[in-house]
Amino acid sequence: MAKLKLDDVPTWSEVGEFLDRIRALYRKREISLRDFVLMSLYPTTGMKTSELLSMRKGDVDFQQGIVRVGSGEEAREVLVMPSILPYLKDYAKDKKAEERVFGLSRRQALNINHRYTEMILGRRIRVASWRHAFAIRLLETVRDPSICRKLLGQKSPKVVSAYQQILQRSLKEELIKSIGG
């Protein structure tokens, strides 16, 4: 079984709350467009920090709302939510096709994540935890582990099995709560 650190994974309702609050901060001009786009992509794409930071403008199909991640057999397509796509397009508009969209170091991206997760959710959430939350939600809605594995770019089915166990535990807890047990 894959050993994943899942103790700080936000619930999907926390993800929704985070996205609403980060959007509100941007609309009030309290955060930059860059930070808003980065912090909106983390929880909604399942992309790793390295994937987001290596994303070039030419990797994004703005018509289809798809980002091509990786190359060769390892390549996959990641969907950008329609509500985020116009902001990504606006942020990347002055960049050349071969230019990286964010131009940040890994440390800078992690610091941005920590700043906003502490500010909005009251605790630091690791970047990997956004990916885990996305994966669990994906598995919850798609229900096919092989599709989830492909969409996440996972080679091993063990990781998706770990997500399945978390999902089963969550469903059991929800059922017990809903029937008053």
Q: What percent of the chain has pLDDT over 70?
A: 76
Contact indicator for 132, 162 with CB cutoff of 8 Å: no
In this prediction, residue 160 has a pLDDT band, given cuts at 50, 70 and 90, of low
What pLDDT was estimated at residue 3?
Answer: 60
Higher pLDDT, 136 or 173: 136
Q: What is the mean pLDDT of residues 163-176?
A: 57
pLDDT 10s digits, 66-113: 999 987 777 888 999 999 999 999 999 999 999 999 999 999 999 999
What pLDDT was estimated at residue 171?
Answer: 54
Domain boundaries, the chain: 12-178
Name, in order, each residue with C-beta under 8 angstroms of 112's C-beta and a sequence gap of 6 or more: 35, 38, 39, 104
In this prediction, residue 149 has a pLDDT band, given cuts at 50, 70 and 90, of low
Residue 1 has pLDDT above 50, yes or no: no
Q: What is the mean pLDDT of residues 133-154?
A: 71
3-state secondary structure of 1: coil
Give the DSSP letter of residue 181: -
What is the C-alpha separation between 22 and 112, in angstroms, rounded? 12
Angle 57-62-68 (CA atoms, 0-180°, nearest 5)? 60
Chain mean pLDDT for the chain: 85
Furthest-apart CA atoms within the chain: distance in Å: 58
Least confident of 32-36, 58-62, 69-73: 69-73
Higher pLDDT, 70 or 60: 60
Domain spanning 12-178, CATH class: mainly alpha
What pLDDT was estimated at residue 166?
Answer: 59
